[in-house]
Amino acid sequence: MNLKYFDIKEEVAKAIKKNKPVVALESTIISHGMPYPRNIEVAKKLEETIRDRGVTPATIAIIDGIIKIGLNEKELEFMGTDKNILKASRMDLPIVIAKKSNAATTVAGTMIAANLAGIKVFVTGGIGGVHRHAQETFDISADLQELSKTNVAVVCAGPKAILDLSLTLEYLETFGVPLVGYQTDELPSFYSRKSGIKIPYRVDTAKEAALIMKAKWDLGLQGGVLITNPIPEEYSMNEEEIKSIINKAIEDSEKLGIKGKELTPFLLSRIKDLSKGESLQANIELVLNNAKVGAEIAKEFYNLSN
| Residue 106 binds which of Mn ion, ligand PSU, none (CB < 5-8 A, kind-dependent) | ligand PSU
Q: Choose, by CB under 6 A, the member of 55, 107, 130, 161 that binds ligand PSU.
A: 107
What's the residue count for the chain? 306
160 in catalytic set = yes
Paired sense of beta strands 56-63 and 103-105, if any: antiparallel
**In sequence order, what are the residues at sequence separation of 6 or more whose Cβ sits closer than 8 angstroms to the Cβ of residue 255?**
none
Using an 8 Å Cβ cutoff, are 10 and 71 in contact? Answer: no
Q: Choose, by CB under 6 A, the member of 128, 159, 178, 223 that binds ligand PSU.
A: 128
73 in catalytic set = no
Q: Choose, by CB under 6 A, the member of 13, 24, 33, 231 that binds ligand PSU.
A: 33
Catalytic residue among 26, 47, 75, 300: 26
Q: Which stretch binds ligand PSU (CB under 6 A): 74-82, 135-143, 223-231, 244-252?
A: 135-143
Ramachandran area for residue 176 (φ above 0: left; ψ -120 to 50: alpha; else beta): left
Number of residues that bind Mn ion (CB under 5 A): 1
Give start and end residues of each alpha helix (H) in the chain: 10-17, 28, 38-51, 73-81, 93-98, 107-117, 134-137, 142-149, 165-174, 206-218, 239-256, 263-274, 278-305
Q: Which stretch binds ligand PSU (CB under 6 A): 77-85, 118-126, 246-254, 273-281?
A: 118-126
Q: DSSP secondary structure string, 95-129?
A: HHHHTT--EEE-HHHHHHHHHHHT--EEE-S-B--
Residues 122-141 that bind Mn ion (CB under 5 A): 139
Using an 8 Å Cβ cutoff, are 87 and 104 in contact? Answer: yes
Residue type, 203: V
Q: Choose, by CB under 6 A, the member of 8, 22, 25, 28 that binds ligand PSU.
A: 28
- The smaller minimum CB distance to ligand PSU, of residues 80 and 125, is found at 125
Report the nearest approach of ligand PSU to the CB of residue 19 (Å): 28
Residue 83 DSSP one-character state: T
Q: Choose, by CB under 6 A, the member of 149, 207, 214, 261 that binds ligand PSU.
A: 261
Confirm whether residue 130 is marked as ligand binding. Answer: no
If binding is defined by CB under 6 A, does position 141 make contact with ligand PSU?
Answer: yes
Confirm whether residue 87 is marked as ligand binding. Answer: yes
Confirm whether residue 298 is marked as ligand binding. Answer: no
- The smaller minimum CB distance to ligand PSU, of residues 207 and 261, is found at 261
**226 phi, psi to nearest 5 deg:** -110, 120
The contact set with ligand PSU (CB under 6 A) reads 26, 28-29, 32-33, 106-107, 124-126, 128, 141-143, 261, 264, 268, 283, 287
The contact set with Mn ion (CB under 5 A) reads 139
- Binding positions for substrate: 87, 107, 141-143
